């Protein structure tokens, strides 16, 4: 645990080992809360506005009243970046459900916490390796909201580890491949880029990648059927921390001969160029 960092937790600036939350907060007892996870490049937050929009949207979706304004949360984020020295970092914003007298309904004020952890330089090795994933039939609760209930994700990830895979993809009852435990999912069929639109978290990276693909590839936002995986040419997952990560195997299906795809690589190059221009 990095004990040097300074985090904002419930109005105080504390080191990670001093950060505490009431056991009576329904985040702890019932998993009721919203959060965001974004990153900085060279001490600048990546698409902060979109993350704050999604935080509000998640709170709306689960009926959590956030007593903190967007400006206030943004101010704290900038202060967290200033008070810590990390060049690249991951930032988590948590808004808890608040303390509860009866153990189920919130009666106290939600706590705002903003945590920061350092990130290393981009690992280009992942482009040589590609990732192996498994499918999981567990389902996220309120999939369009980013809540701290990651029970399905933790279980699926543990299952992935047992299979020597690095992550899992959620597949619903209609056999639609939805998204990763902490990422969005894309495939290429020829030069058509396909990604689901419904039943998934609207990833900020997902939307940036779709913008980067505009005009270069045909784009389809639609369900991806499990049985379709056999005929895809490339696959990748996206997230704030992983950017674009190629996928070369899903369960027993080997994709692109087991090698990361050239269009995926091209999109990653566009992504890197955008970050280097500071165009975010
Ligand atoms: C379930 C889920 N889907 C998608 C994503 C990717 O979102 P973003 O690109 O905004 O990091 C995440 C990120 O943590 C996630 O938890």
CATH of the domain at 77: 3.30.470.10
The H or E element containing residue 64 is none
Q: 114 and 129 share a domain?
A: no
Reduce the secondary structure of 8-45 to three states and give it as a string: EECCEEECHHHCCCCCCEHHHHHCCEEEEEEEEECCEE
pTM tops 0.95, yes or no: yes
In testing the pocket of ligand 1, which one of 35, 146, 208 has its CB within 8 Å of the most ligand atoms?
146
Q: 138 and 108 share a domain?
A: no
pLDDT band at 3, cuts 50/70/90?
Answer: confident
User: What mean pLDDT do residues 158-177 have?
Assistant: 98
CATH of the domain at 200: 3.20.10.10
**Does ligand 1 have an atom closer than 6 angstroms to the CB of 238?**
yes
Domain range for residue 17? Answer: 7-118
- 28 alpha carbon to ligand 1 midpoint, in Å? 22
Q: 87 and 138 share a domain?
A: no
For residue 180, pLDDT over 80 is answered with: yes
For residue 123, pLDDT over 90 is answered with: no
Q: 133 and 271 share a domain?
A: yes
pLDDT, averaged across the chain:
96
pLDDT computed for residue 118 by the predictor: 96
Q: 184 and 207 share a domain?
A: yes
**Does ligand 1 have an atom closer than 6 angstroms to the CB of 135?**
no
pLDDT computed for residue 1 by the predictor: 63
Q: What span, in angstroms and rounded, lies between the C-alpha atoms of 272 and 260?
A: 17
Compute how many other C-beta atoms are within 10 angstroms of the C-beta atom of residue 33: 26
Sign of the CA dihedral with 101 first, then 106, 109, and 114 last? positive
Q: 91 and 158 share a domain?
A: no
**Does ligand 1 have an atom closer than 6 angstroms to the CB of 149?**
no
- 180 alpha carbon to ligand 1 midpoint, in Å? 8
Asked if residue 129 belongs to a domain, the reply is yes
**Does ligand 1 have an atom closer than 6 angstroms to the CB of 196?**
no
pLDDT tens digits, one per residue of 74-114 = 999 999 999 999 999 999 999 999 999 999 999 999 999 99
Q: 88 and 197 share a domain?
A: no
Q: Name which of 112, 118, 76, 97 is nearest 28 in CA terms.
A: 97
Percent of the chain past pLDDT 70, that is, above it, reads 100
Examine the fold and report which residue of 87, 102, 118 is the final residue of a domain before the chain moves on.
118
Q: 150 and 234 share a domain?
A: yes
Asked if residue 199 belongs to a domain, the reply is yes
Of all protein residues, the one whose alpha carbon is nearest to atom 5 of ligand 1 is: 183
Number of domains in the chain: 2
Examine the fold and report which residue of 118, 134, 161 is the final residue of a domain before the chain moves on.
118
**Does ligand 1 have an atom closer than 6 angstroms to the CB of 239?**
yes
Q: Is 151 helix (H, G, I), strand (E, B) or coil?
A: helix
**Does ligand 1 have an atom closer than 6 angstroms to the CB of 205?**
yes
Task: Check: CB of residue 80 under 8 Å from CB of residue 6.
Answer: yes
pLDDT computed for residue 128 by the predictor: 80
Residue appearing with tokens 């689960």: 62
Q: What span, in angstroms and rounded, lies between the C-alpha atoms of 242 and 182?
A: 9
Task: Check: CB of residue 39 under 8 Å from CB of residue 243.
Answer: no
Q: 112 and 73 share a domain?
A: yes
- 55 alpha carbon to ligand 1 midpoint, in Å? 12
Of all protein residues, the one whose alpha carbon is nearest to atom 16 of ligand 1 is: 182
pLDDT computed for residue 272 by the predictor: 96
DSSP category for residue 164: T
pLDDT computed for residue 127 by the predictor: 77
Residue 72 in tokens = 């206030």
Asked if residue 2 belongs to a domain, the reply is no
Q: 145 and 271 share a domain?
A: yes
For residue 2, pLDDT over 80 is answered with: no
For 205-220, the DSSP string reads: HHHHHHHHHTTTSEEE
Q: Is 157 helix (H, G, I), strand (E, B) or coil?
A: helix
- 102 alpha carbon to ligand 1 midpoint, in Å? 32
E-assigned strands of the chain? 7-9, 12-14, 33-41, 44-45, 89-96, 112-118, 131-136, 167-171, 176-180, 184-189, 192-195, 218-221, 224-225, 234-239, 243-250, 253-254
Q: 198 and 252 share a domain?
A: yes
Q: 216 and 114 share a domain?
A: no
**Does ligand 1 have an atom closer than 6 angstroms to the CB of 182?**
yes
């Amino acid at each position: 645990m990095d004990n040097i960092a300074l985090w904002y937790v419930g109005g105080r600036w504390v080191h990670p080992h001093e950060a505490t939350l009431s056991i009576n907060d329904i985040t702890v007892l019932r998993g009721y809360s919203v959060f965001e996870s974004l990153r900085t490049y060279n001490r600048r937050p990546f698409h902060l506005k979109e993350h704050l929009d999604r935080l509000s949207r998640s709170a709306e979706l689960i009926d959590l009243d956030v007593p903190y304004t967007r400006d206030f949360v943004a101010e704290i984020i900038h202060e967290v970046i200033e008070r810590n020295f990390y060049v690249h970092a991951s930032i988590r914003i948590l808004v808890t459900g608040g303390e509860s007298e009866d153990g189920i309904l919130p009666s106290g004020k939600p706590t705002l916490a903003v945590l920061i952890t350092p990130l290393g330089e981009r690992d280009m090795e992942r482009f040589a390796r590609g990732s192996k994933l498994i499918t999981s039939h567990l389902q996220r609760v309120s999939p369009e909201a980013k809540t701290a209930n990651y029970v399905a994700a933790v279980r699926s990830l543990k299952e992935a580890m047992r299979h020597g895979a690095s992550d899992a993809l959620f597949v619903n009852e209609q056999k639609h491949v939805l998204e990763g435990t902490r990422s969005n999912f894309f495939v290429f069929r020829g030069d058509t880029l396909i990604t689901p639109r419904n039943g998934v978290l609207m990833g900020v990276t997902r939307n940036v990648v779709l913008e980067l693909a505009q005009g270069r590839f045909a784009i389809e936002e639609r369900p991806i059927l499990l049985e379709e995986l056999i005929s895809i040419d490339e696959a990748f997952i996206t997230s704030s921390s992983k950017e674009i990560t190629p996928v070369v195997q899903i369960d027993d299906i080997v994709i692109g001969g087991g090698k990361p795809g050239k269009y995926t690589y091209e999109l990653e190059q566009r992504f890197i160029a955008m970050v280097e221009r500071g165009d975010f």
